A and B are shown apart, each in its own frame.
Chain A
Amino acid sequence: MTQSTDTGDIPALSLYQRFPLAVLVAQRLVLSLVLLLAVSVLIYGGVEALPGDFATTYLGQSATPQAVANIRADLGLDRPIVTRYFEWLGGAIQGDFGTSWASRNSVTEQIGKRLGNSLSLAALAAAISVPLAVGLGMLAVHFRNRMPDRIINVISLAAISLPEFFIGYLLILVFAINFNIATFPSTVHDGMTIAERLKAMALPTATLVLVVLAHMMRMTRAAILSVMSSAYMETAELKGLSALRAIVKHAAPNAIAPIVNVVALNLAYLVVGVVVVEVVFVYPGMGQYMVDAVTVRDMPVVQACGLIFAAVYIFLNMLADIIAIVANPRLRHPR
């Protein structure tokens, strides 16, 4: 598109033509917001449409019609869904997710703690796995089809083939039971020192690293390899750069877009997809919180978790896209 209007400096140039980068980024931002709004409708509607009802599920078989009616009236479930949706959305925008039906505590307050736990676990796992994956990927490219590459490949394939609960149990068996050097269960709580907290998080972090490492590593390897076959890499080679330097300086930056995409996907997984790991390690994060809430149909909590998960996912994907846009030299230097 830029090429068709590349005829000279005409004042009638559109905003996009003058600031393609800014416009694309802005577009991406708006798209994300619209997406989030659409997701909020889906979440609210979907949760409402779930079979079963909070009052009966929560009370179980001790539900008497009177108690069920009391709870329903108490929660205002008789009001129309559209009214309730907008009330909920209004609160959510201001960071108020209402009150849990089951525990009558503020959802925002409870999520604050849980989200913090999930995010810190994800951050720790990311801080280890992303540099490790990218580094190993580059190393694999450097030693392409030789022994180090094969070893990295076999180990990463093995790690990716094992379900995370199995990796978790193995780590527990070896490090907590056999050698008794790791903390288990990984329950973190207030009043723990940073060191205690990190020690408790060691095993779940290790599990997550093993789970996401292979995917990112293999994508890095593939992306760099595809760049390696391009003409400018040949030039780099011809002008006498060392192989490692050529990879780090010339190939890697051009492989950023696909790498960032797979990294974002894995980061999102670290936040929203770790339910199993949280259960196995008894780690109090968002996943366990949402599962508990779904079981008793605690709608405000389910909706809040759903919205936050969606937001994390959308945000990370948006970030990956924006980085890809920014990393595109053609857009950075229009004309």
Chain B
Amino acid sequence: MSNDKFLSSLSRAALSRREFMGRAMAAGLTLTAASSLYATSASAQEPKRGGNLKLGLEGGSATDSKDPAKFLSQFMFCVGRCWGDMLVESDPLTGAAVPALAESWEPSADAATWTFTIRKGVQFHNGKELTIDDVVATLKRHTDEKSESGALGVMKSIKEIKKDGDKLVLVLTEGNADLPLLLTDYHLVIQPNGGYDDPLASIGTGPYKLTSFEAGVRATLEKNPNDWRSDRGYVDTIEIIGMNDATARIAALASGQVHYINRVDPKTVGMLKRSPNVEILSTSGRGHYVFIMHCNTAPFDNNDLRLALKYAMDREAMVETVLGGYGKVGNDFPINSTYALFPEGIEQRTYDPDKAAFHYKKSGHSGPVLLRTSEVAFPGAVDAAVLYQGSAQKAGIEIEVKREPGDGYWSNVWNVQPFSTSYWGGRPTQDQMYSTAYLSTADWNDTRFLRPDFDKILLQARAELDEGKRKDMYREMAMMVRDEGGLILPMFNDFVNAAQKSVKGYVHDIGNDMSNGYVATRVWLEA
């Protein structure tokens, strides 16, 4: 169930943020960013209103719950974004926090206390006005230790949630400049009385009201006439159909039965493209497919062997073959140019059998290297491993590919075995990406990158307010991971979806798949 991993990887982000964060991010930029939110790709045409939008989505399951706390699938991710609002959204192009139900926010100097102003005059679908009590109750429900909320990990750094007059005050266990971004989590739908009364009622403040729902099968929604925002919700009704079979999704789109499908297999993109009314929607993302070596486990504790294995990877061929061209080559550190303060100008590592052979010889290693993989690690992981085996062979390195069962891969192989394939979703900031997987103490340090000097720079960068200096620090960190780490990162994958050409105004949101889940609220239908 790679899609679940995909989404849960979002929730994972916050777990490692235990460190004090010294810098206070100004919240002021957000208001202007909000007004330009949809002005980007949409403004070229005047949005049309009306029509019934049909989506065919992978990921629905009969076990899906309507309780936002228990949203797990892609299907519910999209349904929830239609009827509910969070306090904060993220800018589709920059990933910065922009206001939603929270109008503005102000951090304390140490970024450990945050004061939010809640928007006034917003109505729930049942006519009740949104109050600060609803917001407090919602956050309390998701931070409750007894809660089964998928956002529990994200929320556990919140120590206290209180009402101060008409403001919301959040007190954290430690400073965190990225708190507003944490509140964009798709579980944190603001519900009347926090959803304590009836978590399954699906009453929110979003542009659409849920009119029918059958788990894993179908959901229908109709326009909320009292939406507090006019720059979204263009179609009258939405029909979301669960289609877990990739061929069924493609057939439904090609025959014009649905307007939009998600999760197009790169292998079939070519065929789908031949259909004259279909447009492939490919969005660059921060997610990446990786081959991970444990830096502290023989034989991978030898940096020459690690370098040999890095040079033995044919990245271009990987992007072409495994991603069908829908992705970008990676450079063995987990950051790409969609991140702010991306360290530019680092030389791209390319396939070099001679250098690989040189380092391999220097490492003194002999015999086959065992690589474990499974189809669930990422789509095409087994093919990628075999491809890698071939390119390494030309450098005289023998790689033995072991195909593991998908069931239990994440608990028995990933983060356990010394050399395996895996997938990472992106993070809102470089700091979070490194803190989640490369800090010595991180829960998901799946390359066993244990470097006190790296940790030191990471913590310094977090507190550094001078952007130039911080950029230099991020460059230094990237170089350490690239040249000494256990990460082989051949490619960043795009989110590949497809739509009828009559679907207009699609926003390529770097935040997450399906226009960050907002696809149905952002597009309109051309007659």
Interface residues of A, Cβ cutoff 8 Å to B: 51-52, 56, 58-62, 64, 66-67, 70-71, 74, 100, 102-105, 110, 113-114, 169, 172-173, 176-177, 180, 183-185, 187, 189-191, 279-282, 284, 288-289, 292-293, 295-296, 298, 301
Contact = CB atoms under 8 A, between A and B. Distances in A.
B184 to A, nearest CB: 16
Prevailing SS type, chain A contact patch: helix
Interface stretch (B6-14, B390-398, B479-487): B6-14
Contacts of A100: 63
Contact of A284 (B212, B217, B248): B217
A169 B245 CA distance: 11
Contacts of A56: 411
B206 to A, nearest CB: 21
Given A103-B63, A113-B214, A292-B62, A184 B72 contact: no
B215 A62 contact: no
Given A60-B8, A189-B217, A102 B63 contact: yes
B251 A172 contact: yes
A60 B61 contact: no
Interface of B: 1, 4-5, 8-9, 11-12, 56, 61-67, 70, 72, 145-150, 152-153, 200, 212, 214-218, 241-245, 247-248, 251-252, 254-258, 407-408, 410-411
Contacts of A176: 251, 255, 257
Given A185-B252, A284-B217, A279 B152 contact: no
A295 B61 contact: yes
B63 A60 contact: no
A114 B62 CA distance: 10
Prevailing SS type, chain B contact patch: loop
Contacts of B245: 279-280, 282
B243 A105 contact: no
5 contacts: A60-B4, A64-B153, A102-B63, A189-B218, A282-B248
Contacts of B411: 56
Contacts of A190: 212
B153 A185 contact: no
A170 B412 CA distance: 39
Contacts of B247: 169, 280
A104 B146 CA distance: 16
Nearest to A173: B251
A282 B242 contact: yes
Nearest to A276: B245
Q: For the complex of A and B, list the 7 residue pairs with the smallest distance between their C-beta atoms, beginning with the closest.
A: A102-B63, A292-B62, A62-B8, A284-B217, A292-B61, A62-B11, A177-B255
Given A176-B257, A185-B252, 19 more contacts: A51-B408, A58-B63, A59-B150, A60-B410, A74-B148, A100-B63, A103-B63, A105-B215, A110-B215, A172-B248, A176-B251, A187-B218, A280-B248, A282-B56, A282-B242, A288-B62, A292-B61, A295-B61, A296-B63
B255 A60 contact: no
Contact of A52 (B218, B248, B408): B408
Contacts of A284: 214, 216-218
B145 A66 contact: yes
B65 A103 contact: yes
A70 to B, nearest CB: 6
A176 B254 CA distance: 9
